[in-house]
Chains A and B, each alone.
Chain A
Amino acid sequence: MLSEDTVTKKVARRSPAQVMRLERLGSFHQSRLSFMRVLTRRLKSEQWQFKQQQFSIGVDGVGHAVYSAIGPDRTYSLVAFAHDLPDELRSDRVIAEQWDTTFALFDGVPTDADIERLSNNVPYQEAGRVTQSELTLSRANRSVRLWEHVVDSLANGKQPDKAQLDAVGYLMRTTAVYGSGKFGAADRQAIASRAECVGPFQVEMLTVYLIRAFVRDLVQHMANVRGGENAIKLDADLARSLGIGNSTGLGMAPFILNHPSLFNNWIVAREEALAQVRSIEYASADDIDLFKTLFAKACQSIRAWNTDHELQKSKVAKLQEDLKQLTHHLEEFNFADNSPWNTLYLWVEQHLSSEAVEFIVSLLLEPYGELVDGFAHCMGTDKPTINPINGTMKLSSIKSMLESQYGWAADINWADKTACARAWYVSEEKLEPRLGERFDEPIANYEQPLSPARDAIQLLQDIEAVDANRSVASFLLKHPEHRHTVRRIQTLRNLPYGEIQDNTISASLMPIDMLRCKLSFFGAIHFDPRSDRWVRIRMFGNAPYPEELGSIDADLWIYP
């Protein structure tokens, strides 16, 4: 509990120079502010009701189902289609053309005509069209081994093996959850003012939450079909341990570059929450107990973090080593001292890796829901991504802004090939963002503007060649190629955490750092990179199912 006088001396937020490095962002963990937890807290506190409206799936596993989430003001319905996908067509890539299951989140309760319309479009995903009545479009594939094991076990009257469930963590993996106007769906702006949609990605999170319930029911259905009277019901605790997987490639990476205002708000919320917790002068016994309990549970979760990716493996190994050290430190740590959380944070920062620092940042927020959870309301943005340019500004002002915002980038030797070895582009074949080798592939002419630091330094060089008293307007008349960068700099003026302070086209770029950062804000755990640009994760593992929300904690489920 937190009383007014608990927080006295204010610890400052960590600086953007410290936080906004890719290596740091790529070490973020889920927290109280993660969008999944924001959703489950809301579903519970507002007592949302859930209804399986339809479950028309045949003995062959083909058909459709409708699951509705009924909130205080509106109802949202997952329309799910189950298909019969041969193994050879099952691909993890966003560019696949067939899936085991496909979904749309319908705004309201769909009529039979809506379902008929969706059945002619949703299974085709990008090749179909949805309408303003749909808020998301998604699909998922089975984890083949685990699916078969669960169906077979239940059909034969046995519960599935817990170790096998834990090793994979989910029965299905989504490969995309499209929202905000994609493929004809409703724009974000159309729903942004709804209380339940103010926070970022809430309809996307609701989609995945409902998919998880559907997948559990589908696996049970298939077991019942196969086992007949011998089939048994999947144990509720085992079912709850299962989440939904997600496989994410490069498509997600540009998002945090393209939405500086939104990204800034995410980071500010987390950094301000941390600063406030570090400013707490005395910790109560309950808060200390909760911290210690969750620390032990989180350590356990880290031990269950499986990955074959060499770099991530070494990061996880180092994290485990760090957590051992931290465990020893905590045994002797005096929580009764003044500002215990700040002391603890500073010790971790001084002695342990970024993974461990960011791990502890998330844990420090846990006992202080009252203080922290309100920041979740500040994580959205109603600002447009394309702001008008202030052309009356003098170039000298732009120069100062460049120097303060991109001073770190001036030290990079941009003439060096390794500094600009990569280029972001969109492939003609699949219309998805990709990262190529600038000097080995003919892609430079197709480069997307996803290297703000390089562009900022080029702008600075061109500004230095002209009279600094000139206006931005007259400069842009001769240099329209700098227009996007000038806009960005002016936009970032009041967004200290809006820009990644790293080279996004360097030979050593690890795109998974960008993916991990975004996914951590979703609330994902068990990051399992499959390469430097593709990662699998788990969502909603151990969360209460809809019918359990009334009886099970809807917030700390992430620490089972």
Chain B
Amino acid sequence: MIDYSLNELASRAKLSARGAGYSWGMAEEVSRAVYWLAHHNLPHCSMLLPLLNQIDSSVNIMDTLPKALGENYYAQGEYLCPIAAGCALSDSFDIKARESKVLMTDVLSPELLLPFVADIAQRCETIIVLEFNNENLATDGVHIKTSSSNLYEVEKASTLLCRVAGAGEVEFTGLHVPERKTRAVVSEDVWKALGVYAHNTYAPASERSRELGAGAGLNDND
């Protein structure tokens, strides 16, 4: 295991997401989400890597996006990307619509929705509940309450309901405030595997780029 700074983590997450096929703006969202998870002492790279493995092998990344906004998110392809679904939720969540709920179908690594949902809950000063695989997770952006710790290992949820909690439905205590971390511990294998995706964003060296690209001279003996 290696101890990384959160900026190193955010940078690797962004580049690996871009290298796996996300647009730069979506890769920024991946970076933001992974940073948030690590800062809140939750699993991060170990959830990102399986997602990137899937995205990388998908025929067309556009097929993993929700087909439309509304109360049902489902993808054109066989699964829904949690980052794309998180972005759609975050982009379209209407502060006035406190009754909002969205039903998602076949969403990969659903725990990656948490950073988006926590951000929405905090912005809208509400509590949002995610229900999937007969378990649930609630957050107001500060507290996180889960019915089971196994929630962070779910590969795919065939259905997932995202809804605003009813009045008095969820009660948080101090125990639900995750410890804040300023570092991210990642296994060497996972870091390297993310690095393989990040590597896709680097241009292969050529003689011309060596000569021109950086623009510096080779000799410093003056």
Contacts and interface: CB of A to CB of B under 8 A. Distances in A.
B5 interface: yes
A279 interface: no
Interface string B90-103: 11101000000000
Contacts of B209: 427, 434, 436, 441, 443
Given A91-B218, A132-B182, A428-B202, A483 B88 contact: no
A545 to B, nearest CB: 25
A534 B211 CA distance: 13
Contact of A184 (B5, B206, B210, B215): B5
Interface string B23-42: 11110110110000000000
B216 A186 contact: no
A532 B214 CA distance: 10
Interface residues of A, number: 76
Contact of B212 (A429, A431, A436): A436
A145 B222 contact: yes
Given A388-B119, A480-B25, A484-B23, A436 B213 contact: yes
B55 interface: no
A182 B8 contact: yes
A188 B6 CA distance: 10
Determine chain B's interface SS by DSSP, over half rule. Answer: mixed
Interface string A136-170: 00000101110000000000000000000000000
Interface residues of B, number: 53
A434 B183 CA distance: 29
A318 interface: no
Contacts of B7: 180-182, 187-188
Contact of A441 (B91, B92, B182, B208): B208
Interface string A512-546: 00000000000000000011111000000000000
A250 B213 CA distance: 9
Contacts of A437: 208, 212
B59 interface: no
A484 B24 contact: yes
A441 B215 contact: no
A473 B5 contact: no
Interface of A: 87, 90-96, 129, 131-132, 141, 143-145, 173, 180-190, 247, 249-250, 384, 386, 388-392, 425-432, 434-437, 440-443, 445-446, 449, 471-474, 476-477, 480-487, 511, 530-534
Interface of B: 2-8, 22-26, 28-29, 31-32, 62, 65-66, 68-69, 84, 87-88, 90-92, 94, 119, 123, 182-183, 199, 201-206, 208-210, 212-222
